[in-house]
Structure 1
Amino acid sequence: MSGKRSWKLVLAAVFGCFSVWLSGPTGEPGEFAHAADTLNVEGLPKDLKAYRAQIDQMLKKVDALIEKLKTQPNATAIVLDLQQTRDDILRELPKIETAPGDAKWTAQEMRNSVDAKLKLLKEQYEKAVALAG
């Protein structure tokens, strides 16, 4: 009888650990996946090429999420928001890289504008990930 009981205790312990692992520390399903899937827009490199490379990586993640969400009818608004913000960033990046002589903004002001759009994109991305859940 004690062999059967030990087996049941082991199964209960394994199942309990597995369900805690799946649900996260507060019991919210998929909490770890949402927390880990975000865009890091803080501390971007000062070097222009490295800055552009990191932004390109972020935009690839955004594009992948957009493709995933396009099949969900309730995600149309967030998809449009993501696309618009992504396109705004893509339009402004060349301004930083070339800084035309007749530009009314300094290179730093242009970068600040892109950084602000990246923060907006991060917020939209996190909402979209929760919706895609």
Structure 2
Amino acid sequence: MKTIALRYSENFAPDEGTILSHQKLIDLNGYVWYGKLGTAISTKVAHEILENEDPKILLIHSGKQDRYWAHISEISKDLPPLNDFPEYYRDIREKFKCWFRVKSFEKAPKEIMSQCYVASSNSTLSDSSKYSMSPYFIIIVKEE
């Protein structure tokens, strides 16, 4: 499966954290939009992700051990309605250049980083993420 791994941090998040603040909107609306800061992913990569049987992206907590699969149904470069993403995004919403419509979050297994390979180098995500400041990686997930 080809997808992306995105780093995230808690710099702007409320005390409850990024994942829980997004989960609250999933519980309320059945989905939430998750924003990617900086450069948007390409249309080609977005299409490849959405072609997967179960489209999902991997979220990597920078400097921590938390890893989550975000199961998605849509990718957009357009700003979603204000009530469809967490309130703490509102003041910085223009900095998000790509949005993922998340249906659910799933805690990823501890060994997930060694099961993913960076498409450009074929090295494991665990190795590549140690030596790169890249905010996201195009990855191939080794099927279990």
Does TM-score exceed 0.5, indicating one fold? Answer: no
Normalised TM-score (structure 1) = 0.25
Normalised TM-score (structure 2) = 0.23
- Higher strand proportion (structure 1 or 2): 2
- Higher helix proportion (structure 1 or 2): 1
Q: Pick the structure with greater CA Rg.
A: 1
